[in-house]
A and B are shown apart, each in its own frame.
Chain A
Amino acid sequence: MTELTDRYLFAATRSLPASQRDDLSRDLAERVADTIEARIDSGASTPETAERDALVELGHPASLAATYSDRPLMLIGPRYFLIWKRLLLFLESFVPATVAAATALGLVIAGGGWEVIGSSIGIGITVAVHLAFWTTLVFALIERYGTGTDVDETLGWTPEQLPQLPELRRPHRRMDLIATLVWLAIAAGFLVWQQFGIVWADGERTSVPLLAPDLWSFWLPYLLALIALEAAFAVWIYRSDWNWANALVNVALNAAFAIPVVWLFVEGRLFSPEFLAVVEPLLDSDAEWVLSVLFVAGVVAFSAWDAVDGIVKAARGGGRGTLDFPGNRSPRRTEL
């Protein structure tokens, strides 16, 4: 045995607790010596090269030591993997986006411009990375040092939590349709009615229109036409179902609403001068700015929500059964 073997033994055992080091070192020394001897006896190596060849055969000292180790060679083992994954997905699904949105809103209210988009995306990514890191670190520590006796093997699962089979008949679709139509009727009614004064100031109803009367030349009829289109689309969805094409139409309809409204608002053309004259004395400029930001954010969020909702429903395969397995008794299609 020479210095090379000694160095190998040192490298293989140095990460172990001192109490186990000598013991394993002795075992490995025997193994190395026997391997060298065997290589010489079988003629695989010459006596000069046998030691080096034997060490090469044994491989990297750290991985050799790992085969003797009782410690897990994984960050998070099967016992905790599912809980880790579930928790991480749950947190990542909404925390970064929520923080980014809250940051963006705060920055805009504080007077930020377009650069707000970049900084809130940056903050969202930072939050996502931190969440992943700290969650994983905690689980890695539990994996190493946890006793493991307190793990609920079922992940707190009961049969009642099983997802419903995809319902073919979409029990909610009639309700969805009615809700949408009622909502659109209210919106259309509002567009007309606001002309005759719905603004209360000092406890009295004033007769000023809310939206600029100029808009009747094009934009208000446009919005009414859009409402009619939305209604037709809602009926179409009721008759057919969500799919990618319909989701795309839904996105377009929402964009056709949100973009002109925000544009008119930013241009200062949305509300009537009379209405602004009534309101302005009641608000200082800061409050006005905050309300403006909230108005724009509200319009965008409302439209984006509806657009994403359509995409999600399309991705889930609409109201139709998405599971094809023997024993799924939901028919794939209903004929209307």
Chain B
Amino acid sequence: MNLDETTAGHLQELRRGTVVLACLVRLRTPDYGYALLESLNTLGILVDANTLYPLLRRLEKQGLLTSEWNTDEARPRKFYRTSPTGELLADALMTDWRRIDDALGGLTTGDAS
């Protein structure tokens, strides 16, 4: 494994959980898969379609998202929305994320001194 692959592998691991968090927060407003993919990537939360689509189904199975087929448009689309359980998880994840961020911040300033 060369350095690029190693870096890519670690980046992927670092981002894995943040995609879940981003989905849960973003889907407080209902949306469908492709639109979510676009908006997350526009926001700079880089995620691959092969990761996102299966993730949405898994989160729904875990009861963190609810879904509804919208047939108003030309094509039916599945709209996902964060469930109350999902909201709780999002809060917990966000708290932890901030804690880790603070801790890492402390580490780097510690380094500097």
Binding site for B on A (CB under 8 A): 26-27, 30-31, 33-35, 37-38, 59, 64, 67-68
Contacts and interface: CB of A to CB of B under 8 A. Distances in A.
Interface in B62-78: 69, 75-78
B53 interface: yes
A34 B33 contact: yes
A27 B78 contact: yes
Main secondary structure of the interface of A (DSSP, over half): helix
A27 B50 CA distance: 13
B75 A68 contact: no
Nearest to B35: A34
Nearest to B33: A31
B54 interface: yes
Given A27-B78, A38-B34, A59-B50, 12 more contacts: A26-B69, A26-B76, A26-B78, A30-B34, A30-B76, A30-B77, A30-B78, A31-B49, A31-B53, A33-B75, A35-B34, A67-B53
A151 B76 CA distance: 45
A26 B33 CA distance: 13
A32 to B, nearest CB: 10
Given A30-B32, A30-B33, A67 B54 contact: yes
Contacts, number: 35
B75 A27 contact: no
B57 interface: yes
A302 B54 CA distance: 63
B57 A68 contact: yes
Contacts of A30: 32-34, 75-78
B55 to A, nearest CB: 10
A37 B54 CA distance: 20
Interface in B54-97: 54, 57, 69, 75-78
A103 B107 CA distance: 67
A217 B76 CA distance: 103
Contacts of A59: 50
Contacts of A38: 34
A38 B41 CA distance: 14
A31 B34 contact: yes
Contacts of B76: 26, 30
19 contacts: A26-B78, A27-B78, A30-B32, A30-B33, A30-B76, A31-B33, A31-B49, A34-B32, A34-B33, A34-B34, A35-B34, A35-B49, A37-B34, A38-B34, A64-B50, A67-B50, A67-B53, A68-B54, A68-B57
A67 B54 CA distance: 6
B7 to A, nearest CB: 23
Contacts of A35: 34, 49
B57 A27 contact: yes
B34 A27 contact: no
